[in-house]
Structure formats: C-alpha cells, structure tokens
Structure 1
Amino acid sequence: MNAERHAQLLQFLDSLGLKPLAGMDLERLDEALTHTSAGLSLNHEKLEFLGDAVLRLAASEFLEQHYPNLSVGQSSALRAQLVSDRWLGELGQAIGIESVLRIGPTAAGDSSARATLRAEACEACIGALYRLWGDLTPVLRWLTPHWQTTAKAFEADPHLHNWKSALQEWSQGQKRGLPNYRCQEISQIHADPRRFHCQVNLGEQVLGEGWGRSRRQAEQEAARAALARIRPARES
C-alpha cells in the first residue's frame, strides 16, 4: 500500500471516529474498500460475508445496551431496520464511502447500483474493523450514533419502512383478510431499481403497486402506495 492510500484510509477512519492502534496494518481495510469490479486479487467479498454476521451481533448488542426493555418481537423489528441493505446504503452515502472505494469503470458508471455498492462496502468495512480490533468496539463506536437516529425514528413510527406489516394490520382490523402480493420480474439487470414490479390486492381490489431491486422491496413499495391511498379513509 502506498503512502497516499494509507493516509486516505487514516483520514477515513478518523471520519468514523476511530483511531487505529499503534502499528496497526490497514491492509484489511484497503481490502474491504476494494470492489470485485476493480479486478484486483484481494477484494471486499470475504470481509462483506464476515461483516454481515458481525453487523447483526453488534446491532443486538446495541439494543441490549440502549433498549433493554423491548420485547423480543420489538427488538427483532428494530434490528431488521438497523441491518437492512437500505440502511447500509444510506449509511454509506452519509459517510461518503464512495470517495475511498476502489471500483472498476463499469461499476462506477452504473448509477442504479450505487446504493448496493455502498451497502456492500459498509458491510465489508464492518468485517475489516472486527478483524483489525478483534472485537465489536470499533463497530459499536462507529455505528451507535447512526443507530440511535434510526431507533428514534422507529419509536415515532414502528412501521418505519415496514409498510407490509402496517397494511396487514389495517386489513385485519377491517376484517378484510390478508393482502395478496403479485410480483413479476421485469428486468434481468442486477440492482435495477425497477427490476421487480409488484401489485397488492385485497380481494378483487387493487390497492397499490410498486417497483424495486428485489421482490421484497417491490412488495414494500406496493404496500406503501396502498397505505397512501387508504390513509384518508383511515383518518376519517
């Protein structure tokens, strides 16, 4: 690693509120911030795999420390928000991770994949930090302020980004049964924001439709559209 890259990584760690231990080798962090599209022998994939597991454990620790009175169901719902790809993509944008991410020209030119790239890079960084420090300390120090912001928003709206659950509660409260989601893959392009189209029905009535990079996201967007449509009736 050249001196310029080393200095860049030190500055990046500082922006996360972290200071490396004396003599710490930053090769792991460099690996985490090297996307497969760069065509280099070491890339982010293994550390992303590790980071996925570390992220869930760290989020569980955060909830135990800051929200010990939540039920298991509430903790599970909140943790799902704290480890979601959407959240990771937003985190990557907030910290400007693309400025230190090494990617190939094709990936760099694919604007539809930016959120996915940011999410993958954040997970890989989590894996790298765990390897470098040997525990959850740097991960919790970095992520806790961001998680606290999300947790407060979740407290204000328990269905934050889980519109399917909110729609199901409404339909059951109206004794109208369960919503039915019909999804179709429209595009074969990975990370295309309109890859899947979904329509949500209640009986024969179409309540809403949505698009997403995955079936799950398209279903959530369809449920969000349905809730926006029925909101006036709910509030009257």
Structure 2
Amino acid sequence: MLIDPRREKQLRTLMERFGLAANAPVDLQLLNLALTHPSIDRHANYEQLEFVGDAVVRLIASDVLLETYPDAPVGEFAAVRSVLVSDRVLAELGAEYGLERYLLTSSNRFASGRGGQQIRLADVFEAVLGAFYRSTMDMSLIRFWFDPILRERSVDVRADPAFYNYKDALQEWTQGKYKKLPQYRVEETPAPAPRQERFYAEVWLNEDRLGAGKGPSKKAAEQAAAKEAFFAVSGHNQGQEQAVGLEVG
C-alpha cells in the first residue's frame, strides 16, 4: 500500500512529536495502519496493532516499576500498573500527543461507538506503540520517551492511599470492618446533563449511603462515589468515620 506524500509528511510530523528522528526505523505502513479506524477499513485497521500494543504497555510498565521500586511488593506493582495502563491514562497520553488529528476515520465516528472517545483514544495510543514495536521488534523506539512518563505517573499513583482504585479500597475496608460488600446504585442522568456527568452513582452499606458521584460512564460514576465514601470512612480522613453511623446487622 502506497502512502500519499501528504500523509507521509503527517506521519513524520507525528514521529517528531514522540522525539523520534526523521531517519528513525519506523515502518510508515504500520504507523499509518495504527492510525486507521475500522470505519475506514473493516480489515486493515488499528485493531491488531492495538492488541500488540496492549502487551507492550503492560510489559514496559511492569519493567519500569520493578526498576524504580525494587523493594515494593508484587501486590503494589499490580495496583499501580492497573492505573498506568488504564484507558483513562492512555487516553490522556494519546491526547497529549495529538493522535486525534492523525487518525483516519469516517465523519463523526471518533467519539462514537464502544466506550466513546476515551477508549477509542486509548486504543489508538496502544496501536501506535504496537507499530513502533513491530517496526524494530524491540522497544528501542519507545522506552526512551515512555519510561519517564510512567515513572512520573507512578509517583502520583503511589502517593494516593487507594492507588486511585477506590472501589477496591472501599470493598477491602467494608469487608475488613463489617464482612459485607458495598452496593452501588447507578442511574443515567437526564439528557441535558454534561457528558462528563452522564451517570450518577451512590454506594450503600446496610441502610447507609456512604458516598455519591457522577461520571461519563457507569464505571466512572461508581469510582467517583467510592472515592467520596473511601475518604469519608477510612482513617485517611480523620473524624469522618464516626459521622457515617454504620451498624453491623
């Protein structure tokens, strides 16, 4: 497949955004494929490279955590890595590198479909990493710029008492203290609500509402509710636990 000279110029500009030299051994055919949405071609699109890129991201994140925190327990590695490779973080990185402007897609398809724009952008970011890896069959086009990003973000994640996974942290707290699981009640907000507040969630234990939150998806709304609840009941927000009024029963 021949690449139009204008498209080649776009791809080389994107390479520069990743800090790659003009003569870097990037297979432009693969990079172009990584930036081709299934709405353009059902067979030749980014999905297979995304599959590879998913493994690349997880491997590099694992390696960086082991190198940076050699004495940390494996459970902490898993918790931090789950955030680093999440759709939210990868979509943020995709946005920072401006991948939307390079993606070939049919009109109005980027923000639609499965999971919306966040998942789509995370998929594209993984596909680009897959293309870089497949170009050389090693990590030489990736690690020099990706490692520092992961290290910086891992510091933020480790500084959070719940590693940003408030649902798991809250569940661990309720099971340890009350031998019960929290229950989530989620509803879709009226259409005029902003997209980032599309869903509203509450988290309950027994007859007590522990927290509430909103988000663009059910999962995000539940995490927001769990975050409010976690800081309200855990020792990380002293003095609030007694105000909840929980009783075992």
C-alpha RMSD of matched pairs (Å)? 3.0
Corresponding residue for 2:59? 57
Q: Does 88-97 or 209-218 show the bigger shift? A: 209-218
In the superposition, relative to structure 1, how do residues 57 and 24 fare at CA in structure 2: closer, same or farther (>3 Å)?
closer
Verify the 8 A CA contact 1:37 1:106 in the aligned structure 2: no
Shift, 1:150, TM fit: 0.8
Larger radius of gyration: 2
Corresponding residue for 1:161? 164
1:234 is paired with a residue whose SS is coil
Q: Does 1:70 align with 2:72?
A: yes
Match of 1:98 among 97, 100, 104: 100
Task: Give distance in 2, aligned partners of 1:121 and 1:96.
Answer: 11
Which residues of 2 match residues 76-225 of structure 1 at below 5 A?
A: 76-108=78-110, 110=112, 113-171=116-174, 175-184=177-186, 186=188, 198-212=201-215, 215-225=218-228
Task: Give distance in 2, aligned partners of 1:86 and 1:219.
Answer: 15
Q: What is the TM-score of this pair, normalised by structure 2? A: 0.79
Task: Give distance in 2, aligned partners of 1:16 and 1:68.
Answer: 28
The amino acid that maps onto 1:98 is E
Task: Give distance in 1, aligned partners of 2:236 and 2:25.
Answer: 63
Q: Does 216-225 or 65-74 show the bigger shift? A: 216-225
2:142 is paired with a residue whose SS is helix
Shift, 1:213, TM fit: 5.4
In the superposition, relative to structure 1, how do residues 28 and 227 fare at CA in structure 2: closer, same or farther (>3 Å)?
same
Verify the 8 A CA contact 1:177 1:202 in the aligned structure 2: no
Task: Give distance in 2, aligned partners of 1:158 and 1:52.
Answer: 27
The amino acid that maps onto 1:131 is R
Task: Give distance in 2, aligned partners of 1:157 and 1:234.
Answer: 13
In the superposition, relative to structure 1, how do residues 152 and 233 fare at CA in structure 2: closer, same or farther (>3 Å)?
closer
Q: What is the TM-score of this pair, normalised by structure 1? A: 0.83
Task: Give distance in 2, aligned partners of 1:2 and 1:185.
Answer: 47
Percent of aligned positions that are identical: 37
1:106 is paired with a residue whose SS is coil
Corresponding residue for 1:14? 16
Higher helix share: 1
The amino acid that maps onto 1:235 is Q
Shift, 1:172, TM fit: 5.5
Verify the 8 A CA contact 1:29 1:129 in the aligned structure 2: yes
The amino acid that maps onto 1:138 is L
Verify the 8 A CA contact 1:37 1:107 in the aligned structure 2: yes
Which segments of 5 or more consecutive residues in structure 2 lack a partner in the other structure?
190-194, 240-249
Q: Does 137-146 or 26-35 show the bigger shift? A: 137-146
